[in-house]
Amino acid sequence: MFTGLVEVRGSVTALVDDPPARRLEIDVGPAWVAESSPGDSVAINGCCLTVVAIGQSTLVFEAGPETLARTNLGELAPGDPVNLERPLAAGGRLGGHFVQGHIDDTATVVDVVGDGEWVTMWFEVPGSLTAGLVAKGSVAVDGVSLTVVEVIEDRFSVALIPHTLENTTLGIRQAGARVNIETDILAKYVQKLMTGDASDGAAVGGQPE
């Protein structure tokens, strides 16, 4: 379980095809390496993957074909920044919202509107996700816990503060970019109770793939 509060922005150092998977090597810095062990879970752009190897300042992960196809991890290239978060420790402070690290789908950035140091960002999402989005509700975008400002048909918006823009990948996202979306787990349960429909089971993350 995560909170959507990004701890650090890492950098992709290498991508190695290992069919049917791909190994991702990410520079996280020596401090993180010192506190990491193989088998640990880490949310990368909101997608939970497992540490399979450790370097001097890097962690290595394996992403399977489903993850590569259904998240923006399949679009990464060496040098790209990624949002990183470790799981919430028992007894830790919950500053964002409950984030599972299971990506529901991706959205496309359709508009970036500056307002001084703030930015309003609009996303186009698959119709299946709009039922889990509500104004003033929570959503994780590339692993960042955000409050939904407005929902219109197949689009929603969020307001990004300077800290978020400076310390996460959302600060460099432009129109056309694909981002990972995880809707609020509480909204999913409410939707299930109201409609009797469960998820299609396509969400990815949470286990090495």
Query: Where exactly are the structural domains of the chain?
Result: 8-85, 105-195
Residue 200: per-residue pLDDT: 55
The pLDDT tens digits of the residues spanning 96-106 come to 888 999 999 99
Tally of CB atoms within 10 A around 147: 13
Give the residue among 144, 147, 165, 164 at the shortest CA–CA distance from 156.
147
pTM above 0.85, yes or no: yes
Tally of CB atoms within 10 A around 90: 6
Q: Would you give the distance in Å from CA 180 to the centre of its chain?
A: 5
Are the C-beta atoms of 57 and 26 separated by less than 8 Å?
no
Helix, strand or coil, per DSSP, at residue 156: strand
Q: Which fold has domain 105-195?
A: Elongation Factor Tu (Ef-tu); domain 3 (2.40.30)
Residue 132: per-residue pLDDT: 86
Helix, strand or coil, per DSSP, at residue 197: coil
Q: Does domain 8-85 have CATH number 2.40.30.20?
A: yes
- Cα 156 to Cα 109: distance, rounded to the nearest angstrom: 10
The answer to whether 8-85 and 105-195 have equal CATH topology is: yes
The pLDDT tens digits of the residues spanning 30-71 come to 999 999 999 999 999 999 999 999 999 999 999 999 999 999
